[in-house]
């Protein structure tokens, strides 16, 4: 899809985080920030009677409540219908036109189904584009959440930016401990601290999220954070059976070979693949493509505008849960026609 078409589409940002992490508090601030002044807001509520949308103090009709179930379960119906209806209502000038959408998920939801839907529904794919996920991490309770709640791990693994909440309620050592926990799951992710007495960090704006997902230098920094000796797998902390491995693709690879190989890998491991991210230069191409994937889904490859620095390596990172990194890496190398380690 061309860059021009992408710019015409409506950017969609997901605000995620475990129960009680402070998503609604941050959402209240985001809707007043100039970066989201022209955004529609969708709040996902688990119960039959929505509450969170009443806590978001907007001054106009920008907020929509998607209630009755977690967005993981309703995304194929309720969210699709909501996004379609919002677009048509704005087109008919029945609501104020919007250029972006903010979705606050429930505390038990993964952002992954939203990504799937934007890619697979033709109507939405032409009109909306995923800009990234902001994950709110509770500095007070993150340690316990990651050891007892698999959803919290998934939310952080998929985050493009992590915002620490409740930092004013903990000492500096506890905040650094929470940051270290996040780095074990998503080592290269940018982090910021949300404090009630300070302005919001610019990295929470859509423009910063776009750069984080599509900039060659940002992607290179993220990939570099996973480098380990000889590409050996590593464990991301002692929680939630999360491991990772990074690999450099030494053998040339065509686009068709890559897509076919990744299809086999993702079909086999599915939910165990928390995140796939990388940068690959295919045979015959001068510039690399950004690679993003979750579970069974691989998102459209996007050509980067440049190489980061002097390096020309094609690299992939796999974040896994409940899988052996050695076993998965062996299959990936075989599927992508790469030599054994």
Is the pTM above the cut of 0.85? no
pLDDT of residue 114: 79
CB-CB contact of 132 with 160 (8 Å): yes
Nearest to 147, CA basis, from 242, 83, 231: 242
pLDDT classification of 239: cutoffs 50, 70, 90 = very low
Please state, as a whole number, how many other Cβ atoms lie within 10 Å of the Cβ of residue 52: 19
pLDDT classification of 285: cutoffs 50, 70, 90 = very high
Please state, as a whole number, how many other Cβ atoms lie within 10 Å of the Cβ of residue 158: 24
How many CA atoms lie less than 13 Å away from 140 in the CB half-sphere? 10
Decide if pLDDT at 184 tops 90.
Answer: no
Q: What is the DSSP string of 180-196?
A: HHHHHHSTT--EEE--T
- Average pLDDT of every residue of the chain: 81
In this structure, of 54-58, 146-150, 186-190, 299-303, the range with the lowest mean pLDDT score is 54-58
Same fold, 10-214 and 218-336: no
Return the domain boundaries, the chain.
10-214, 218-336
> Which residues, at least 6 apart from 302, have a Cβ–Cβ distance to it below 8 Å?
214, 289, 290
CATH assignment of 218-336, given 1.10.1660.10, 3.40.640.10, 3.20.190.10, 3.30.1220.10? 3.30.1220.10
- Per-residue pLDDT tens digits for 214-225: 788 888 877 877
Interval 294-300 mean pLDDT: 84
Let me know if domain 10-214 sits in CATH 3.40.50.300: yes
pLDDT classification of 104: cutoffs 50, 70, 90 = confident
């Amino acid at each position: 899809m061309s860059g021009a078409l992408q710019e015409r589409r409506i950017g969609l940002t997901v605000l995620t985080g475990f129960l009680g992490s402070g998503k609604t508090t941050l959402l209240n601030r985001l809707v007043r920030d100039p970066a989201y002044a022209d955004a529609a807001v969708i709040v996902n509520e688990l119960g039959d009677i929505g509450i969170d949308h009443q806590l978001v103090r907007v001054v106009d009709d920008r907020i929509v409540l998607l209630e009755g179930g977690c967005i993981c379960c309703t995304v194929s119906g309720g969210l699709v219908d909501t996004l379609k209806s919002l677009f048509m209502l704005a087109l008919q000038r029945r609501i104020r036109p919007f250029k972006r959408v903010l979705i606050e998920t429930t505390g038990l939801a993964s952002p992954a189904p939203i990504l799937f839907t934007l890619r697979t529904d033709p109507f939405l794919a032409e009109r909306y584009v995923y800009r990234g996920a902001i994950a709110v991490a509770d500095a007070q309770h993150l340690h316990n959440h990651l050891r007892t709640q698999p959803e919290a791990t998934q939310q952080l693994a998929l985050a493009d930016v992590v915002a620490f909440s409740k930092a004013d309620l903990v000492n500096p050592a506890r905040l650094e401990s929470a940051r270290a926990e996040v780095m074990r799951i998503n080592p290269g992710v940018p982090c910021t601290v949300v404090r009630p007495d300070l302005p919001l960090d610019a990295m929470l704006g859509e423009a910063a999220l776009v750069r984080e997902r599509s900039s060659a230098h940002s992607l290179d920094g993220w990939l570099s954070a996973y480098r380990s000796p000889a590409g050996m797998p590593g464990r991301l902390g002692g929680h939630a059976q999360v491991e990772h491995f990074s690999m450099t693709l030494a053998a040339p690879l065509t686009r068709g070979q890559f897509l076919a190989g990744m299809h086999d890998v993702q079909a086999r491991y599915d939910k165990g693949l928390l995140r796939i991210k990388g940068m690959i230069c295919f045979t015959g191409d001068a510039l690399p493509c950004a690679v993003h994937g979750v579970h069974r889904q691989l998102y459209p490859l996007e050509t980067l505008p440049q190489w980061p620095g002097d390096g020309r390596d094609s690299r992939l990172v796999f974040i896994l849960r409940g899988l052996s990194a050695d076993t998965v890496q062996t299959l990936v190398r075989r599927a992508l026609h790469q030599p054994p380690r």
